[in-house]
Amino acid sequence: MTPSSLPFIRLKPKANARAIRFGAPWVYDNEVVTDRRTRNIDPGSICILEDADRTPMGVVAVNPNSRIFARVLDRDTNVSVGHAWLVGKVRAALSLREKLYDTPFYRLVHAEGDGLPGVVIDRFGDTAVMQPNAAWAERLLPDLVAALQEVTGVTHVLKNAAGRARGLEGLDDESGVLAGQAPDSPVEVRMNGATYLADLVDGQKTGLFYDQRPNHAFAGRAAKGARVLDVFSHVGGFGLAALAQGADHTLAVDGSAAALTLASEGAARMGQAERFASQQGDAFDVLGQLAATAQQFDLVVCDPPAFAPNKQALEAGLRAYERVARLAAPLVAPGGILALCSCSHAADLTKFRSACVRGIGRGGRRAALIHTGFAGPDHPQHPQLAETAYLKALFFRL
């Protein structure tokens, strides 16, 4: 469809057109003039966005079934969003990663941060795992896969349809293979000297959390000769990084037996099996059990799931982060380090840090903040979208 033939949507007079002109990437349903025509636009359609005076503002992807009514794709109203446009976006994303990483294991596309709203692509060598979390990406999925393969040369492309984002867009939760075939075993990924095993088919999200890479590295530097407790460990993220940098011993705690099995296998492949132990169970329960036996560690890391995935859950989420800090603080040996993480975009850095400090105080400890970490550069932040700047990691010396 040529730009001149695209349908249009129009902002209400009181909508904040100025913010959109200055880069805001989303248009909400209460900002758009809605009538029978706009309500009947097919989800995922490409349209022209106009301000209240009918001045074109950009090309957008529209979903009348979503609270996010439109996502800005391009400020140039003359572009045609198709294969060539997608190739340009993926090529730009790849160019950044190739400057930063020696091997093709990284987040290749970070949604709005890379100009592809709602699209997440993690790369594992010649396999990519895609999360098309917006209706437009689902609609253009064949073109997106073709562009991805043309630019990167990946052989296998998997679709991961898990997570709440697709539900908010009215999309299904059916994962599958989009090109090539699924790996028949976990993929080995090496980061910060550690060996991780990523289950790209049945693992959590895309199988591995690349976002914590720089925070794993910082924890590793602080872990030489240390006894390490890695809570909400998943496949061994912080614990294996610590072992790779000379930790004496790591105990990994997670609710998933499958994830801990992968963590143990990773330790074995590193030649560190004898220094690695795991304990399956509810993290809060295990923290309490460790405290009851007066155990202490030189480095304690807690990297829980998003306790505050949206504003409605913020207060309960902050209480949960405070509880984690309260339970973990007594487990840190004097002079040791406590690392507390949040992947909740609704809990900004100030609120999260305040909750952690309260929890540490309630745990009977005093703390000095020695480092604040964020997601790696393969997770570029859109400066006007908090969702792309979700990860925080606070390192305290107790």
CATH top-level class of 3-74: mainly beta
Rounded to an integer, what is the distance from CA 234 to the centroid of its chain? Answer: 14
Confidence (pTM): 0.95
Average pLDDT estimate for 356-373 = 98
Judge whether 356 counts as a catalytic residue: no
Q: pLDDT, tens digit, for every residue of 375-389?
A: 999 999 999 998 898
Go through the chain and tell me how many residues it has. Answer: 398
- What local confidence, expressed as pLDDT, does residue 25 receive? 96
First CA to last CA across the chain, in angstroms? 60
Q: How much of the chain is helix, strand and coil, in % rounded to 5?
A: 35, 25, 35
Q: With beta carbons less than 8 A apart as the criterion, state whether 335 and 367 touch.
A: no
CA distance 331 to 283: 13
Q: Given the structure tokens 């052989």, which residue do they identify?
A: 155
Q: Do domains 3-74 and 187-397 have the same CATH topology?
A: no
Superfamily of domain 83-179 in CATH is: RNA methyltransferase domain (HRMD) like (3.30.750.80)
Q: Name which of 234, 230, 282 is nearest 258 in CA terms.
A: 234
Model confidence at 4, pLDDT cuts 50, 70, 90, reads low
DSSP state of 381: P
Residue of 47, 302, 341, 343 marked active site: 343
- Per the prediction, the chain carries an average pLDDT of 96
H helical segments located in the chain:
17-21, 36-39, 83-100, 135-139, 141-152, 164-168, 213-221, 237-244, 257-269, 283-292, 314-328, 349-362
**Helix 349-362 crosses helix 314-328 at what angle (to 10 degrees)?**
40
Domain ranges of the chain: 3-74, 83-179, 187-397
15-24, 104-113, 176-185, 363-372: the lowest-pLDDT one: 15-24
Q: Is the pLDDT of residue 2 over 70?
A: no
Q: For the domain with range 187-397, which CATH number is right: 3.30.2040.10, 3.40.50.150, 3.40.50.920, 3.20.20.140?
A: 3.40.50.150
